[in-house]
Amino acid sequence: MSYFEQIDPLKVPSHVAVIMDGNGRWAKSHGKERIFGHFNGVESVRATLKAAVKSGVKYLTLYAFSTENWNRPKEEVEALMNLLVHTITGEIDELDKNEVRLHAIGDIDSLPESCKTELHAAMERTSGNNKVNLILALSYSSRWEINQAVKRILAEGLKPEEISDHLISSYLCTAAFPDPELLIRTSGEKRISNFLLWQIAYSELYFTETHWPDFNEEEFYKAICDYQTRERRFGKTSEQIHTGMGINEKTT
């Protein structure tokens, strides 16, 4: 049975976040320049989006460029920005046709003008779509996001007693989205790399050795199946989960 057939439609995560990693190593293993890996990663984005829609995922967040990635060689940064513009321009008709709504999180103002223009146009054009939300994390890092949230909270003069989990969430770039139930990282690295630190407090983590350009639909379904085997306890006991008991109810 394929992984897709094994998916329980009643237990599909609503939000899946992905750290798309391993493009450079994949390219190197094929005797090519790093950028060749980035180009080939676009097909994996298409496949992942398709798989997300087919399995019923409503929010797909892709970590495409981190705050720290600005420190890469200038040529690689430029190539990545050009790839972003060309990919959006090339894919926008298809995205719109498939009712995908595009969003961006991160320090979007720091992107080159051409990226900002394409991105804003694509977000505007797809703003009425609601089949699936594709959220691109660009010039994003969680510490940057938390910094800007704290600054805004202070600037607006909020009082200590007004601070809550809910309020903090509402000042993050992801305010409009639920927290991801599942976080996938490709390429065998087992770290978070400054991604959604607040939002993944209770996410299930899935690591695969597959480099991003080799990631495909079936790999996505495999991750969903693995997620569906997890028992999400949120601090409670296994018995409470199985009997549906609430907080502080006696177990005897």
Q: Is 107 a catalytic residue?
A: no
Q: Among ligand IPE, Mg ion, none, what binds residue 227 when CB lies within 5 to 8 Å by partner kind?
A: none
Check: CB of residue 108 under 8 Å from CB of residue 119: yes
Segment 1 to 60, residues that bind Mg ion, using CB under 5 A = 21
Q: Is 71 a catalytic residue?
A: no
Kindly give, in sequence order, each residue whose CB lies less than 8 Å from that of residue 36, ignoring residues fewer than 6 positions away. 27, 30
Tell me if residue 50 falls in helix, strand or coil.
helix
Least CB distance to Mg ion at residue 49 (A): 21
Least CB distance to ligand IPE at residue 105 (A): 12
Task: Establish if 87 lies at the interface with ligand IPE (CB under 6 A).
Answer: no
Segment 178 to 197, residues that bind ligand IPE, using CB under 6 A = 187, 189, 191, 193
- Tokens in use for 150? 């704290």
Total residue count of the chain as it appears in this document:
252
Check: CB of residue 118 under 8 Å from CB of residue 87: no
Task: Establish if 204 lies at the interface with Mg ion (CB under 5 A).
Answer: no
Kindly give, in sequence order, each residue whose CB lies less than 8 Å from that of residue 48, ignoring residues fewer than 6 positions away. 18, 60, 62, 215, 217, 220
Interface segment toward ligand IPE; rule CB under 6 A; list 1-9, 58-66, 81-89, 168-176: 58-66
Question: 3, 63, 215, 220: which one contacts ligand IPE (CB under 6 A)?
Answer: 63
Residue sitting closest to ligand IPE (CB): 24
Distance CA 220, CA 222 (A): 5
Toward Mg ion, which CB reaches closer, 27 or 172? 27
Token pair 């480099």: residue: 211
Least CB distance to ligand IPE at residue 56 (A): 25
Q: Which of 156, 135, 154, 97 is nearest to 14 (CA)?
A: 135
Task: Establish if 213 lies at the interface with ligand IPE (CB under 6 A).
Answer: no
Residues labelled as active-site residues: 21, 69
